[in-house]
């Protein structure tokens, strides 16, 4: 089971399968690298497929530490350095998008492109950014986590999927294998990471992202608004946006074939020889 030490008391778990140019996947809040398992089945035949568990998540340690975007970015940069990754595509989902935005400047020379799935540069709304959740919603979620952690997590998992996705026959197996098949973070790590989400604002970093970026968003996403990806498209110089109709917050889980097709098309355009 591979780990790298990125800071005192912080060991980051990662998985690497396949050979070729590296694809590095970052999961969202309170998830783990396990969520990407359906993409591994498809992409590891042509690429080196790498997932990591953010600190305090999955099998990574560090639950007693801090959980800022800078912390997550430092761990990600160390992974790139220790694995000697170049010409990589970094794929972030949800909070993983914000980690990718934060780390970009550090690993710019290692990157070929970025993919942002169901992302936003700012999770909560403000007077000049209406494309986020109300701060009251994140505070309410923090209270619910303290009162009943397991139930609140289950409600969050369910909320990632649009109604029509939730009732598909495939949903129970999907939830069991890809989501709850991972390891829930320590409640303290989940709460600290949620606070980072609620207070973070990375909009000022978007214009400096100068590699191709594929933005993917589900039209029925109730966690991060599709308008957030439209905002990023308008502020990232080389970004393109693909909306998956009818999909919720995790289109790579609920619509893996549609998501996989978008990924392969993008990668073929970026690398040109796969």
Rounded-to-integer distance, Cα 223 and Cα 202, Å: 18
Q: Is 221 a catalytic residue?
A: yes
Residues 172 and 203: beta-carbon distance below 8 Å: no
- Out of 27, 57, 110, 249, the active site residue is 249
CA distances from 103 to 5, 73, 99, 108, 163 (A): 18, 5, 6, 8, 34
3-state secondary structure of 164: helix
Inter-residue contact 122 to 132 (CB < 8 Å): yes
Element (H, E) at 264: helix 256-271
CA 72 – CA 78 distance, rounded (Å): 10
Provide, for the chain, the percentages of residues in helix, strand and coil under a 3-state DSSP scheme, each rounded to the nearest 5: 45, 20, 35
Q: Select which of 221, 229, 254, 258 is catalytic.
A: 221
Residue 94 annotated to the active site: yes
Residue 205 contacts residue 231 (beta carbons within 8 Å): no
Instruction: Give me the sheet containing 10-17, strands edge to edge.
Output: 3-7, 10-17, 48-52, 22-26, 88-93, 111-117, 213-218, 239-244
Element (H, E) at 239: strand 239-244
Place of tokens 């604002």: 201
Q: Is 127 among the catalytic positions? A: no
Residues 236 and 116: beta-carbon distance below 8 Å: no
**Catalytic residue (one of 60, 61, 94, 118):** 94
Supply the residues annotated as catalytic.
Answer: 94, 221, 249
């Amino acid at each position: 089971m591979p780990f790298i030490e990125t800071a005192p008391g912080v060991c980051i778990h990662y998985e690497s399968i396949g050979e070729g140019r590296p694809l590095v996947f970052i999961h969202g809040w309170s998830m783990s690298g396990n969520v990407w398992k359906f993409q591994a089945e498809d992409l590891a035949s042509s690429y080196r497929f790498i997932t990591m568990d953010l600190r305090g998540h999955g099998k990574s340690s560090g639950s007693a530490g801090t959980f800022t975007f800078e912390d997550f970015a430092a761990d990600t940069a160390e992974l790139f350095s220790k694995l000697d990754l170049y010409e990589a595509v970094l794929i972030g989902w949800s909070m993983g998008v914000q980690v990718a935005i934060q780390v970009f400047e550090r690993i710019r020379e290692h990157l070929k492109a970025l993919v942002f799935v169901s992302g936003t540069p700012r999770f909560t709304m403000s007077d000049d950014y209406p494309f986020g959740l109300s701060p009251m919603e994140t505070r309410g979620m923090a209270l619910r986590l303290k009162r009943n952690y397991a139930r609140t997590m289950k409600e969050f998992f369910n909320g990632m999927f649009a109604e029509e996705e939730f009732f598909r026959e495939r949903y129970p197996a999907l939830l069991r294998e890809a989501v709850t098949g991972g390891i829930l973070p320590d409640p303290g790590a989940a709460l600290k990471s949620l606070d980072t989400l609620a207070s973070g604002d990375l909009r000022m970093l978007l214009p400096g992202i100068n590699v191709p970026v594929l933005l993917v968003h589900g039209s029925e996403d109730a966690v991060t608004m599709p308008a957030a990806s439209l905002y990023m498209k308008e502020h990232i110089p080389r970004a393109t946006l693909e909306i998956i109709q009818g999909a919720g917050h995790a289109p790579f889980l609920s619509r893996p074939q549609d998501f996989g097709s978008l990924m392969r098309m993008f990668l073929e355009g970026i690398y040109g020889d796969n």
